[in-house]
Amino acid sequence: MKPVFHAFAGTTAMLIIASFWTSTLVSELFMDHAAVAAVKQDIYGLFLLVSCLAATGGSGFVLGKSRNGRLLDQKKKRMRIIAANGLLVMIPSALFLNAKAASGEFDVAFYAVQLVELVVGAVQFTLMGMNFRDGLRLATGHRPPIG
């Protein structure tokens, strides 16, 4: 049951990140400031994302206690980066952008932070995708080629 929970939480987190990232990009490129503000003010999704990431990390920690190896070590290293990016960049950026959008301040600072959020969001999604791939390898016993 723990592996299913871990996979569900991780997949849900990836879907939320993809949804945020896509919504942001589409609203910025093709919609008006009201649409951008609506996307930035969806703070409730942030709480769901943080919960899913915490559940993924916690369940992964429990699952990894009895295992070791290169794939697991790589997943752990990536999770540290994912957590640091989330706590130090993504959450503060989301809160900042929410406040700026709520007050209608679409200035240079807004767009600079928006760009950082998009870049780090793409990095987060990529790292989580790599962890997803390695998790499947761990679960099925497939090993990557050495090299």
For residues 9 and 82, give the distance between their C-alpha atoms in angstroms, rounded to a whole number.
15
Instruction: Give pTM, 2 decimals.
Output: 0.86
Q: What would the 3-class secondary structure string for the chain be?
A: CHHHHHHHHHHHHHHHHHHHHHHHHHHHHHCCHHHHHHHHCCHHHHHHHHHHHHHHHHHHHHHHCCCCCHHHHHHHHHHHHHHHHHHHHHHHHHHHHHHHHHCCCCCHHHHHHHHHHHHHHHHHHHHHHHHHHHHHHHHHCCCCCCC
pLDDT digits (tens, 9 = 90+) for 114-132: 999 999 999 999 999 999 9
Counting every residue, how long is the chain? 147
Q: What is the pLDDT of residue 146?
A: 59
CA distance 107 to 22: 21
Q: Are 98 and 40 in contact (CB under 8 A)?
A: yes
Other Cβ atoms within 10 Å of 110 Cβ, number: 18
Mean pLDDT of the chain: 90
CATH 2.60.40 is the classification of domain 2-140: no
Confidence of residue 144 (pLDDT cuts 50, 70, 90): low
Domain ranges of the chain: 2-140
Measure the CA–CA gap between 33 and 114, rounded to whole angstroms. 13
